[in-house]
Amino acid sequence: MAPTLHEQLLQTLGTRIVGGELAPGTVLHAEQIARDEGVSRPVVREVVRVLQAMGLVAATKRVGIRVRPAEAWNLYDPLVIRWRLAVGSSGGQLRSMTELRSAFEPKAAELAAQYRDDRDAAKLLGLALEMREVGRAGDLKRFLELDIAFHRFVLTASGNEMIAQLERIVAEVLTARTEQGLMPHQPHEDALELHVRVAEAIWARDSGEAHAAMDRIMRRTAAEVSVTWSDLPRPSILPEA
């Protein structure tokens, strides 16, 4: 399905802001955006509302639409993550997300082993076994679908509603990794087996093994994609005095 004018404009402005083409402090005007992009004022207003909710812009009647600095962005918004992964900051975004995932996904697997129900545990094991089969066949498109579903199941099975809501973030990162060619043409056998081990540990209610196996998955992931950030400095996030 072709993107709507709203979706196209949101993508255009979002990537221009995140990519730095529209620097912090830049002031835009709805009339000019409408003319430049060939859309109506109502479409511009709706897109600006979305960007405001993400923290990317601030709009006032007398000033216009002012681009805000990265410190103000909602970095957990899936679209902000998608845009950061699509532009020059992809390495830094991958590093941040991989480190974050390394913190919460092993814990999610541990909790899932404690609190899962039999139906979810059986589905997860089925997903892991299908992932192994599809991965060995080298079908990366289907593997991505299964990988997203696998991690979603682990997060939701944790029984923690805040962890569960991180599944959209994980899906964006897994998708970008595949689209940017950072997945091997055929997933490593060790990675495939580790997903099965996570599922088996959750089924067996072995929280320690579930945590350890998911931790190994994340360590392997970090090793595979760290080439994208090896030369990047870490951002300064301390507030100015």
CATH of the domain at 65: 1.10.10.10
Residue 54 CB coordination number (10 Å):
22
| 56: nearest Cα among 44, 43, 45, 65 | 65
CA 153 to chain centre: 16
Query: For a pLDDT cut of 90, what percent of the chain falls above it?
Result: 76
On whether both 213 and 151 belong to a single domain, the answer is yes
* Domain endpoint, select from 30, 46, 72: 72
Give domain status of residue 234, yes or no: no
Yes or no: say if 194 and 217 are a contact pair by the CB < 8 Å rule: yes
The b-or-e profile of 174-184 (16+ CB within 10 A means b, else e) is bbbbbeeeebe
CA distance 132 to 147: 10
* CA 28 vs CA 17, 41, 57, 66, 185: distances in Å: 11, 13, 10, 6, 43
Confidence of residue 3 (pLDDT cuts 50, 70, 90): confident
Average pLDDT over every residue of 109-129: 95
DSSP state of 159: T
Nearest residue to 223 via CA among 195, 191, 197: 191
pLDDT of residue 241: 46
Do 49 and 122 lie in a common domain?
no
Strands, E, within the chain: which ranges? 27-28, 57-60, 64-67
* Strand-strand pairing, 57-60 and 64-67: antiparallel
Across the range 101-113, mean pLDDT stands at 97
- Look up the CATH number of the domain holding residue 191: 1.20.120.530
Instruction: Tell me what pLDDT residue 89 has.
Output: 60
Residue 131 lies in a domain: yes
The distance from CA 156 to its chain's CA centroid, rounded to whole angstroms, is 16
- pLDDT one-digit tens code per residue, 132-159: 999 999 999 999 999 999 999 999 999 9
For residue 182, name the pLDDT band (cuts at 50, 70, 90). confident
Residues 130, 207, single domain; the answer is yes
106, 62: one domain: no
- Domain extent, residue 145, equals 89-228
138 and 56 together in one domain = no
